[in-house]
Structure 1
Amino acid sequence: MNGIRIEPVGVIQKLHQSEYTGENRCRVCTVLNACLAILIAVGVGVVSIPAAVIVLVFSAGVIALRGYLIPGTPTLVTYLPESVHDAIGAEHDITRSSGVQSDAEEPIDIETILLSANVVIDCPEEDDLCLTDAYRAAWDLEIGKLDDEAVRNRLATTLAVDGDEIELEADDDGLFVRIEGVRAGGWPSRPAFLADLTSQALLETWVPDWESLPPRDRTRLLAALRTFVDRCPDCGGDVVAETTVTRSCCRGNVTSVTTACADCNSTIFEGMER
């Protein structure tokens, strides 16, 4: 039979929008458009049940392939209140190494705590924060003391266990601490681990209420301090930062920040911010 043949797969590929589906799918867009599709189907169902079923199936297919049903939704949802995003669960402010704050917990003000403890100050020549000279000097002094024995002893003191019970395991995913075979913590690399171990020892005395902070908040403070590391704690080379901006239909652009040791190619910090 002569004529034009339409390949179903080709049509699907043309309709598909990868920027709004898969890992990039905006949950807010999907939920709102699904609700609209149901409302439209209900309205059509008053006249014809079969037509309502067709509308619902068609709408589901469009949302699955394109990420939304109503044109302009990805732009409109960025103007929704934060409470709507939080209620639906569209979270983008994620820091890999600092843990995720649950909705029931009051988030700590990392900047205020570090400023009050004289760990950081406002940079004199740019709109940012910088380590104080005193803290940087103390950090450099402490990192110079960390040989393998000191690392194990300090870690044993921090975890309140015998040093012989601790195992350090490194693989492509990072460095992990095991206690009697049970994983007790993980870092993206050995330099990140050394940076946290050093900062932990310093913040115990620099932050007045350090001991009263929950473990989750201590971890977030330590991870935040890793963003100020400019010399690799392991190989001594320079630390370089890379910033990537990714489009997000939920809450505007998402900025991904990664810092790594230039010489040993080890990640020190990975995080995302809006």
Structure 2
Amino acid sequence: MRIQSVLDTIRQPEYTGDNRCIPCTVVNLAITVVICVVLAVWMWPVAIGFAVIALASIALRGYLVPGTPTLTKRYLPDRVLAVFDKGPTQTTAVDPDETAAVDAEQILLKSDAVEPCEDIDDICLTPSFRKAWYDRMDTIVETETEREALAESLDTEGEIEFVDHGEAFAAHIDGRSVGQWESRAAFIADLAAARELSNWIDAWETLDVTEQGTVIRGLRVFVETCPSCDGPVVPSQETVESCCREHTVVAIACESCDARIFESTVDPAVEIGQPEAV
């Protein structure tokens, strides 16, 4: 127990386990190897002793050299951090060429699902589409027919299972994951949109799954009433910091039940205003 207590005192959970910064670890391992080689030339037992201490420090604390997390965040370029999956998973600063395949805003505008707002310079749902979309959400929630609606949308007869992880809501068909959402509320919004948009967009069936998903997900920023708890939704913005970098997360969540409807990571290099509608 005493040894375990000592280890717990030394250990830094914010830099180890799931929070381990891979670039920090790689840099410190490289430094350890270089120092061990130099020490081995002088006295190999010392090199072995140093290696044991260094590896223990990296394993328990996440790094050997003090200040490594700060130095890594400050001096390693984003493209290097991205190699180790430490960059933002999704940003609003995307290459226009990558989104040229489907312009969700134009598709929704042409289908009369959205229109320019009357009182502000933005895009709003048209009254007719809002009613149709919300009616579908209400029907799915009230009749608890998520499985039937998803099966029809995906044209499948497989066994559907939903798993609510609290911070994520997943759907599985015959044990295979088919999608994950921020919450059950986000899933309901997407499911209702998928069922309704085919009535509004003439070329809906010609869009591939990825393109349909882009349009459907974009609609979620227009949700004004939570599909789960029937309360208002509110926007938020927070800075999430890891040992390697920090990024801003913009989100829309239900005020009453905290269910997240929409979430997107924004590159800190991009000036943050209000999240784009689509």
Q: Under a length normalisation based on structure 2, what TM-score does the superposition of the two structures give?
A: 0.67
Matched, 1:66 2:61: yes
Which residue matches 1:159? 154
- Residue 199 (structure 1) aligned with residue 193 (structure 2): yes
Distance 1:93 1:13, change over 3 A: same
The match for 1:115 among 100, 105, 121 is: 105
The answer (yes or no) to whether the contact 1:139–1:198 under 8 Å persists in 2 is: no
- Aligned equivalents of 1:76 and 1:269: distance in 2? 33
Q: 1:22 to 1:155 in 2, by over 3 A?
A: closer
Could you tell me which amino acid in structure 2 is paired with residue 36 of structure 1?
I
Give the aligned residue type for 1:132: C
Over 3 Å counting, the alpha-carbon distance change for 1:38 and 1:208 in structure 2 is farther
Query: 1:262 corresponds to which letter in structure 2?
Result: E
Measure the CA separation in 1 of the matches of 2:68 and 2:195: 49
The answer to whether the 8 Å contact 1:18/1:24 transfers is yes
> Is 1:84–2:80 an aligned residue pair?
yes
Q: 1:139 aligns with which of 108, 112, 130?
A: 130
- After superposition, the CA RMSD in angstroms is 4.1
Task: Give 1:72 shift.
Answer: 2.8
| Cα deviation code 1:179-226 (max 9, x no counterpart) | 57876445454422221023224555559677443x355445534432
Q: Give per-residue Cα distances to partners, 1:6-37, cap 9 Å, x unaligned.
A: x7666545543333223322111011111111
Task: Please list, as runs of the form range in 1=range in 2, the aligned pairs for 1:26-105 lying within 5 A after superposition.
Answer: 26-78=21-73, 79-87=75-83, 89-94=84-89
What one-letter code is carried by the residue in structure 1 that aligns with 2:231?
Answer: G
1:53–1:194: structure 2 CA closer, same or farther, 3 Å change rule?
same
* One-letter amino acid of the structure 1 residue matched with residue 188 of structure 2: L
Structure 1 CA distance for aligned equivalents of residues 240 and 128 of structure 2 = 36
Q: TM-score, normalised by structure 1?
A: 0.68
Q: Which runs of 5+ in 1 are unaligned?
A: 1-6, 96-105
Q: Which position in structure 2 is the counterpart of 1:102?
A: none
Give structure 2 stretches of 5+ with no counterpart: 91-95, 268-278
Pairing of 1:210-249 with structure 2 (within 5 A): 211-213=206-208, 215-216=209-210, 218-219=212-213, 221-249=215-243
Call closer, same or farther: CA 1:20–1:8 in 2, change over 3 Å: same
Provide the rounded CA distance (Å) in 2 between the counterparts of 1:17 and 1:124. Answer: 52
Deviation at 1:272, TM superposition (A): 4.5
Of residues 244, 250, 253 in structure 1, which corresponds to 2:244? Answer: 250
Q: 1:77 to 1:47 in 2, by over 3 A?
A: same
